[in-house]
Structure 1
Amino acid sequence: MELKTSYLAKHVRTLQPSGIRKFFDATAGLTDVISLGVGEPDFVTPWNVREAAILSLEDGYTSYTANAGLLELRVEISNYIDNNYCVNYDPESEITVTVGASEAIDIALRAILDPGDEVLVVEPCFVSYAPLVTLAGGVPVIVESMKDNDFKVLPEQLEAAVTDRTKAIMICSPNNPTGSMLSKAEMERIADIAKKHDLLVLSDEIYAELVYDELYTSFAAIEGMQERTILVSGFSKDLAMTGWRLGFVCAPKEITEGMLKIHQYAIMCASTMAQHAGLEGLKNGRRDVAEMRKSYRQRRNYIVQSLNEMGLKCYKPEGAFYTFPNIESTGMDSETFATRLLKAERVVVVPGNAFGASGEGHVRCSYATSMAQLQEAMTRMRRFVEKL
């Protein structure tokens, strides 16, 4: 017997499925496909990190941890953030270990939003941001960053979007899907708006370790912002631990207590084995991160040059592992371009409109794949564009 549609909550019924997943479903059954669409490192989790998880099993660490996570891991997270970004968080009251950065964003929004509260969501952005605001009872207010500014949001755009219902601003830097990164000066201007209107900033810093040409500044490190910043990060991107589902969130004590309540009821705690692995990664994984970052930098330089040479204008991203080339010269919208490229040359890219309306006219190409695969993908894309 089929369930009636009316059994679903209205806000779930109207929720659109992920634009990324919808497109990838179309690749099922195809062979000889090169994917530049997956936001996942092609590296395997470093051996010492995997071994730490294995040893934790052998030693019998198979029970729950504290709801907030292993204290030893939270201490190491605190040390890591302090050493790298000069921000100090109390591991006992301001850090929660989560099931990936995705859960961290979810519980942060559910902890701070009352029904009808507005959150400024800067697009293009990861596909889950606006839906998670909606699921938390809030109202996502889209602020479109523009290609002419390398998809960096202007402070005056945020200022214009603030109302008496605005509660927070969501920022991802380096950005998925564009790879753009806010400078310290640009963050300071956004921070001024947050202070002026008494707003929180939810800062997704999952790509902070994958920055190629300058030092990274955490939003929480901006003067006067730690007390109004919810810092989200994790282990998926820099340590190639996507499948481990391990993240963390740092915030002022009151907000952390609220998030922990939700985490307790919904999750209990992150995987014990994954936490032991993450602990090893923080302690002894920096050399692996540096090697992966070096490889990504080389791939970034290659793919940006290749895309520009074939006539798809592409600026050089400062971080993450994505390029966001402009495909308007082909006369196609982003979904048509991606669909035809897949059909003709078996190369997967993600339509830019999957990340918001301002992403239209672009496609996301991930360079988190081997150089050999990138070279073949660029050969196929060049052939496709030339035929047009």
Structure 2
Amino acid sequence: MNLSEYGNTESQVVTAGLNLGRVITVSHQTFTVVTEFGRFHAEISGRLRNLAMTAEDLPTVGDWVQLRLPANREDVAYIERLNERHSVFLRKTAGRQIDAQLVAANIDWLLLCMALDHNFNVRRLERYLAVAAASGAKPSVVLTKADQARDLSAQLAEVDAVLPPQTPVIICDATRADGLAELANFMQPRQTYALIGSSGVGKTTLINHLSHQVVGETQAVRASDSHGRHTTTTRQLMVLPNQSIVIDTPGMRELGLMDADVAATFDDIVQLAQHCRFSDCTHQQEPGCAVQAAIATGEVDATRLRSYQELQQEASVNTQLRGKAREQAKIKRMFGSKKQMQAVRKASRHHQKY
């Protein structure tokens, strides 16, 4: 099998005795990996699992890995090494735990999908843009269900107002024969695209149309709020007929900020803040606040400032907690527990003293 079809640019490192592969599906720590010798079911080796401090150190869909292949094709291969990523999209796990959940890796373009029906929410789009900005991939906004847009011109203006410069916007209507032509033309051979969005925006429908076959089930969404069920439950990578590579991901009801570049997403506010009278301006009631002046003239929407401050606070807190979690994982791996680490240090000081 030719791995260039799966995006290999011959820059991937391969250790002697191992084989290069790309992870194309992930489901409950079971992997399907494509190699030059075909597809294999794979598991993580004990060595790699022992070296990993957190889930971020383990493979996800889109990763290039090095495997030890079995003599029998029906047996399980073992992933021994994880190659360096050029991009990765991750989010905070749902709930109160501060753990990173890997969504996809080695993506060239993140297609941020948002429907033009009741799902339309510019504040949510800002959140996706902040995570995309930190991922290393280029973002593009894909607006689905154009046939259900309440006011397409006004909605496009709202989207344009929050986008970083030169971010492509693609409009899709799966009810028309040519409704996905713009998206199909945008996706280029051997480039990897990941579709990210909340439940019910139509990601699987897009892939079914682009692949000219049913590769995933779709379900109707609730008419009240346009939310859908998680039809896609596993992450998978596939090559489309036009030779572009696409990763389908489960719908996200919650995108917790774990690795996000809020400043890049709100560059307009960041630039205005440089002209505030006080360097520590909170943009509330301080005199000489350039951001509040822009809000007063209508240059900046007040809801955008609130969104910026909320995302900035969330990202800051989660980043700090993430760092502590990785440090605790490191201590656990090296000493077993923080108490045991302190005992080792105490013994070391005692030894040096005498």
**TM-score of the aligned structures, taking structure 1 as reference length:** 0.26
Q: Larger % of helix: which?
A: 1
Higher relative contact order by CA 8 Å / sep ≥ 6: 1 or 2? 1
Q: Larger % of strand: which?
A: 2
**TM-score of the aligned structures, taking structure 2 as reference length:** 0.28
Larger Rg: 2
